[in-house]
Structure 1
Amino acid sequence: MPTIHLTTFIAAPANIVFDLSRHVSVHKEAHAPYKTDAVAGTRFGLLEKGETITWKSYHLFKERLQRIKIVEMIKPEMYVEVQLQGDLTMLRHEHHFKPIDNGMLMIDLLTYEFPYGQFGRLFNAVYFNQYMEKYLQQKIALIKNYAETDRWKKLLVR
């Protein structure tokens, strides 16, 4: 199964980055080009352990629905989301947050399985893996922007 591993330095406290990463509005804004919207489950605010959210978005010329559940969470160190329903055979996204002296490291581990057997493996190797990495990097860039400026204060009450 393919795994995408991204590590990002962010000059902000880990607890702020942790909350931004699980905020529904941040996800929607980062993926606005895909017309992403929360259509069921927790549709606003911060996702918590045990909660589900169903995302509607447009990828590869088609409307897609993906139901996600937060299955594990240790605040503000990590959380894990898994796909309950969607186009992929399997998806598991681990989010880790490690404080360091001048900020923190956000580590994303996304493991997934693309359907359609040998054709799916070829499509993944040629296109889909890079597509997913770009998709993740869009959200990471927005989280970094919010966290390293005062923008986070518009979403998070401290």
Structure 2
Amino acid sequence: MVTVSAEIEIRAPIELCFDMARNIEIHTQTVWKHTQERVVAGRTSGLIGEGETVTFQAKHFLIRQKLTSRVTDYIRPYKFVDEMKSGAFKNMRHEHEFIDLGNRTLMKDTLYFEAPFGIIGWIVERVILKEYMKRFLTFRNKQLKEIAERAI
């Protein structure tokens, strides 16, 4: 299993950052455009909450994929966790944490994932996917920061 972390400080209140991070429309606006990510099932708009699922369809490495996640842990406005229920990974868990810094928020993402296909998947995780997922999280967080800071 591989762990990828990213964090960013946002000049916005914790509640706003928390809600923007779980907003379905904002999610699709803050990912790489070339992935053509869109929602195809589950919670298709608004704020995803505890126990809810969402299915995204996107193109990664020229392959169209679907990933269904369920929010399995939810402590507003400090933390929510989504876990993959079906998709390209053998397993995946994404922890979103928010730390109140007064008029700023520290947003931390920790992504745990494991690729399928045994030793081949293990190699791909470390050679390709770890850096790819780090760039994906970092890009998304920067986009979310810009939206949140414009909103206040």
Q: Normalising by the residue count of structure 1, what TM-score does the alignment of the two structures yield?
A: 0.92
Deviations 1:109-135 (A, max 9, x none): 100111111111111211111111111
One-letter code aligned to 2:66: L
Whether 1:93 aligns to 2:94 is: yes
**Is there any run of 5+ residues in structure 1 with no aligned partner, and where?**
153-158
**1:36 Cα deviation after fit:** 0.5
Whether 1:135 aligns to 2:136 is: yes
Q: Match for residue 38 of structure 1?
A: 39
Q: Secondary structure at the match of 2:46?
A: coil
**1:33 Cα deviation after fit:** 2.2
Q: Secondary structure at the match of 1:12?
A: coil
One-letter code aligned to 1:23: N
**Alignment length, in residue pairs?**
151
Deviations 1:35-67 (A, max 9, x none): 111000100011011110111110111110001
**Is there any run of 5+ residues in structure 2 with no aligned partner, and where?**
none
Distance in 1 of aligned mates of 2:40 and 2:102: 39
Whether 1:3 aligns to 2:11 is: no
Give yes or no for contact 1:7–1:105 (8 Å, CA) kept in 2. Answer: yes
Deviations 1:100-153 (A, max 9, x none): 134111011100111111111111211111111111112111110011113x7x
Q: Secondary structure at the match of 2:44?
A: coil
**1:24 Cα deviation after fit:** 0.6
User: What's the C-alpha RMSD, in Å, of the aligned pairs?
Assistant: 1.1
Deviating 4+ runs (over 6 angstroms): none
Distance in 2 of aligned mates of 1:138 and 1:41: 25
**1:68 Cα deviation after fit:** 0.6
Give yes or no for contact 1:26–1:142 (8 Å, CA) kept in 2. Answer: no
Q: How does 1:29-108 map to 2 (within 5 A)?
A: 29-31=29-31, 32-108=33-109
Distance in 1 of aligned mates of 2:89 and 2:71: 17
